Chain A
Amino acid sequence: MMLSKRSFLTGALGGMAMIGMPFETRAQSAGGRGGTLVVGSSQVPRHFNGAVQSGIATAMPSTQIFASPLRFDENWKPQPYLAKSWEVAPDGLSVTLKLVDDAVFHDGKPVTSDDVAFSVMIIKENHPFKTMLAAVDKVETPDPKTAVIKLAHPHPALLLAMSPALMPILPRHVYGDGQDIKTHPANLKPIGSGPYKFVEYKQGDYYTLEKFEKFFIPGRPKLDKIVVRLIADPNALLVSTERGEIHAAPFITGVRDIERLEKVQDLVVTEKGFAGIGALNWLAFNTKKKPLDDVRVRQAIAYAANRDFIVKKLMGGKAPPSTGPIAPGSPLYEARVEQYKFDIEKSKKLLDEAGLKPNADGVRATMTIDYIPGGDEQQRNVAEYMRSALKRVGLNLEVRAAPDFPTWAQRVSNYDFDMTMDTVYNWGDPVIGVDRTYLSSNIRKGIIWSNTQQYSNPKVDDILAKAAVETAPEKRKALYSEFQKIVVEDVPIFFINATPYYNAFAKGLSGLPTTIWGVASPLDELYWATAPKT
């Protein structure tokens, strides 16, 4: 509690202090190739080791510092990275990686299959995404440049799990010294084999990365230096971006913010680069709590909410609607599900059927709605909209404001809620980021972003288990289609929209990160085509 209060206060005050503060590195930006890139972000990383920490705050620096076996292009196709080739065995029970010959860590030691084996097992044991590498039995290292990942059962999600954001290869000689990996001192002074090496981190203020001269891809990275300024106040971040003090502002979600930056001449604003993360914004129900344990009540709420109004009017058309548990940008997305088209009468009828009759004041039931504090447009505004929308069908909602994130997370993960707005990421493959929300085996009290809805449907459990090991892409897609239809029918969650994550870049930049992982992947191709305006 103490910590959260403090961070809340410093956040509010720190933002103000940043305005108008000239930043020394700004003047050092050079034109042509190379030069310095100043990134502005509100995402403060706890540390830089993406092997034991999920989230974009860590993923952005971690993917610059650490290389991974594979990377992905704009069309979800795997590309060689640390692994120059990879081969999935016909039975799907092993994947053989051939590593590039000349990769070295920032301290000069070579990257070997031993480091791959070490990292895979570290991630399997410590990464919050338990399902991601659960199928991995062991990693064999027949020679220093060959790693064979042995699986207990086929695991088609493994290729995506080898993405930069999910499988950073750690040097065993640094992280394997027996200290607890989650609190390892090198998490804050990381050593990897990625395009940029870590220089310094001023906690909550900025961190600096510098070109790694011996990076294994010749001619890259093109930039000399990346400075990430951490600016807690979104308005200060916007102003700095508008003034050109910041050359790249990733993760912009506010519609007004996006529109404001789109008007700035010297900026390119793109929505590309977040298909992999697949952030969904939704209304989750506590399916064990009366009256929400009745599927008809949940369906009634879905019919009473006008998704079209939310997406087009409240979010200004910048956020794509989402209709099911898999993000619209994914190749596994199924559009043919129940849409819950806005229908007040149908909603009232369902509530009547569920036995929720209006009392003398026209009130059928009173419930609470929570939201993640901080994200006004995606969270608070929609919660307030729901209060107004559900009143029309006789459901009274009390909006519960949480003062900080831990308070919200504690309520939701301990099932002390009726319904809550929430934002959860797909992380590429359903096995990594989708299953956790729906598997009955993942109802884990106290853990946020597990199955906090306490949704339990044996058929869904069964389909997800089958799809996780299905190696034939078409069959796998069919299984996930069925899964999406059932979940949408059961409404443990009312799906509202995909979070619009926009990136703003200064116009002179070229080689923008538009792959499925966006800035949560190496920025080794980014360079200044024309000098930045200072």
Chain B
Amino acid sequence: MEISVIVFPGSNCDRDVAVSLKQVFKRNPKMVWHKEQTLPKSDLIVLPGGFSYGDYLRCGSMAANSPIMSEIIKCGKSGTFIIGICNGFQILTETNLLPGTLIRNKDLSFICKNLPLKVENSKSRFTHKYSANEIIEIPVAHNEGNYFADQKTINNIEDKDLVAFRYCNKDGIVNDETNPNGSKNNIAGIINEQGNILGMMPHPERASDKVAGLIDGEKFFISILESIQ
């Protein structure tokens, strides 16, 4: 099993996610520089968090045009697993591998905190280790995490059960008060229709280490591992 973590100039969660992946997959992922023209054979491609290109122009927009991306788009369309976390999610929407976009948080400030999430779809290849409607705790750290799409797109995502996670409180209540950044319907993570690409704003790699305090992210990585096997 081969994993590639794509490193853009300004990525800063590349090492963190590599550590979590190694813990679960028991092997080192390949760190692939964004200027590469070819991608090593990969069963899983990870677009990590950070500030690719300094978030200049628009979060993720320049990275979406990096040389490596045409390979990644090809792989995504042919069914390779891809996950985008935080800035990675923003890049995935910029490449149209996932619908919608991520705009400025409703309060216009950066938010870094642990948040409860409701596992909305516990049958996907990314989330099947969670139980239905499980409430998990995963940190967020973003300035542009406000998920937005037109109503038709939102309806389509929801009708097809493509919402992976929603923001909620610790009792699982999903409403405006438990919406940290203004995302449509509290959406924190989505899956594409083919079921092989996931984007999420929260950081599961920051919740996979007992010593650092949180472990709910581990099941996310284990789900992927089992789906690939």
A and B held together in a complex: no
